């Protein structure tokens, strides 16, 4: 029987998490399933908006969707560890370790399965950056600054730095920054550059992972997945992995180019060097949150995230 899977993404369709994944995935899956599986593709949140994925996928509104794992904090509190300062892994580490069969992937896959979703690909789109109209010179620079955050975990980090986490719709961030509704916005580098937040801000602060990162995934409705034949299930997983490897590498290579684009626009870019003075300063300031995370999350998970 022919299968047709619906796949939904949100955010800019030009973002590498979409543009470097979906076409590859579609083609690979067609080949690997020998034409058994075709796809129906929806972009820009027209089917499922970002924050609704955690109910829409288990409930089968679409078969597969892009998701920010931190958006699952309403049912799986453990996901917020990925956005916490405990997470200091590099994108290269993620490239090699957020794969089926590796502990962190399997841990969250099991968690999502208990909610009715299967993780078919997991990746690091890069640590979030702060597009701001002020310069971040140290961990105290964010004090009292209204900063737009995108999820629960990111809000907690900003709060720990003394900033005022502000919730606003994705569409309002550009104008919010421009008009000073918020002084800065935390978000993925790809999105910040794609949505041209640098046009309306003077500075970009690149924490480089000292404030956690953005782990995204493609997830599939569990019933739909399990109704596929074992061969087709394998085709889905293999295609997703291959497309994801391509996209993850693309994302890694793209980071420098994106920062250059911001510099070229005449904006000041402050990069936190790993284990440099700025890094240590932030690490110290975030220590209470890190300690809290250490005790709040299950010990086995903490170990997976922090051990070498």
Q: How many CA atoms lie within 13 A of 80 on its CB side?
A: 20
Dihedral sign of CA atoms 235, 90, 266, 178 in order:
positive
Task: Name 166's bridge partners.
Answer: 148
Identity of the residue, 61 or 249, whose beta carbon is nearer to other proteins in the bound complex? 61
Secondary structure (3-state) at 4: strand
Identity of the residue, 139 or 255, whose beta carbon is nearer to other proteins in the bound complex? 139
- Assess 152 for contact with other proteins (CB under 8 A): yes
Lay out the site mask for other proteins across 196-215 (x = CB under 8 A, - = otherwise): ---xx---------------
Q: β-pairing, 203-206 with 268-271?
A: parallel
**Residue range at the interface with other proteins (CB under 8 A); choices 29-37, 123-131, 152-160, 247-255:** 152-160
208: closest CA among 253, 272, 276? 272
- Assess 1 for contact with other proteins (CB under 8 A): no
Task: Name 268's bridge partners.
Answer: 203
- What's the count of helices (H) and strands (E) in the chain, helices before strands? 13, 11
Closest distance of CB 252 from other proteins, Å: 27
**Residue range at the interface with other proteins (CB under 8 A); choices 88-96, 97-105, 166-174, 207-215:** 166-174
What dihedral angle (degrees, nearest 10) is formed by the CA atoms of 197, 201, 202, 208? -50
- Assess 174 for contact with other proteins (CB under 8 A): yes
- Assess 179 for contact with other proteins (CB under 8 A): yes
Q: CA dist 279 to 207, 208, 210, 283, Å? A: 8, 9, 6, 6
- Assess 144 for contact with other proteins (CB under 8 A): yes
- Assess 103 for contact with other proteins (CB under 8 A): no
- Assess 288 for contact with other proteins (CB under 8 A): no
292: closest CA among 75, 73, 151, 86? 86
Member of 46, 96, 135, 140 binding other proteins (CB under 8 A)? 46
**Contact residues for other proteins, defined by CB under 8 A:** 6, 40, 42, 44-49, 51-52, 54-56, 59-61, 70-75, 115, 144-146, 151-152, 155-156, 159, 164-172, 174-176, 178-181, 183, 199-200
């Amino acid at each position: 029987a022919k299968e047709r899977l619906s796949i939904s993404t949100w955010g800019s369709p030009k973002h590498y998490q979409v543009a470097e994944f979906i076409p590859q995935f579609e083609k690979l899956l067609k080949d690997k399933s020998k034409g058994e599986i075709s796809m129906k593709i929806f972009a820009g949140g027209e089917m499922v908006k970002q924050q609704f994925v955690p109910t829409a996928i288990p409930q089968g509104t679409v078969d597969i969707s892009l998701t920010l794992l931190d958006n699952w904090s309403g049912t799986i509190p453990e996901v917020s560890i990925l956005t916490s300062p405990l997470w200091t892994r590099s994108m290269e580490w993620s490239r090699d370790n957020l794969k089926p069969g590796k502990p962190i992937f399997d841990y969250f896959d099991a968690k999502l399965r208990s909610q009715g979703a299967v993780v078919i690909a997991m990746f690091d789109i890069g640590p979030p950056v702060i597009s701001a109209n002020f310069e971040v010179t140290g961990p105290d620079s964010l004090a009292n600054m209204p900063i737009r955050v995108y999820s629960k975990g990111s809000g907690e980090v900003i709060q720990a730095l003394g900033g005022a986490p502000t919730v606003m719709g994705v569409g309002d961030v550009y104008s919010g920054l421009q008009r000073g509704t918020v002084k800065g916005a935390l978000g993925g580098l790809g999105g910040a550059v794609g949505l041209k937040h640098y046009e309306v801000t003077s500075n970009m602060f690149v924490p480089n992972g000292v404030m956690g990162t953005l782990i995204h995934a493609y997830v599939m409705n569990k019933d739909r997945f399990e109704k596929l034949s074992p061969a087709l299930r394998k085709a889905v997983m293999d295609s997703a992995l291959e497309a994801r490897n391509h996209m993850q590498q693309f994302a890694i290579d793209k980071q420098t180019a994106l920062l250059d684009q911001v510099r070229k626009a005449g904006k000041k870019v402050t990069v936190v060097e790993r284990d440099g003075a700025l890094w240590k300063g932030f690490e110290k300031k975030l220590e209470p949150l890190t300690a809290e995370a250490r005790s709040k999350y299950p010990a086995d998970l903490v170990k997976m995230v922090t051990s070498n």
